[in-house]
Amino acid sequence: MRHAIDGGSSFPYSSSAKEERPEALQIDIDARMLSIRYPMELNLVGDSAETLQALIPFLGRKLTFLGKKLKEIQEWWKVLEGRR
């Protein structure tokens, strides 16, 4: 099963996205913005930095996965910048 970290439910997804829908979670300060364009497995309302800090103790060894995904997000932002 694929996983994704969402940049927001209104985030412009790549046309190269796999057919299999990846699992996703969204953290948003505005609850009205949750799961607007993409169905999330988990919706969390709050400041993203504070919410992520609160989640760290529950992640344990999954931090490696999170680090990998954060790196992928940084690469995706570079792709989007190149499209401007």
pLDDT digits (tens, 9 = 90+) for 30-56: 999 998 888 888 899 999 889 888 888
What rounded mean pLDDT belongs to the chain? 76
pLDDT for 14 equals 47
Q: Give the start-to-end residue ranges of the domains of the chain.
A: 3-82
Q: Which residue has the tokens 């400041």?
A: 47
Inter-residue contact 19 to 2 (CB < 8 Å) = no
In this prediction the pTM is 0.48
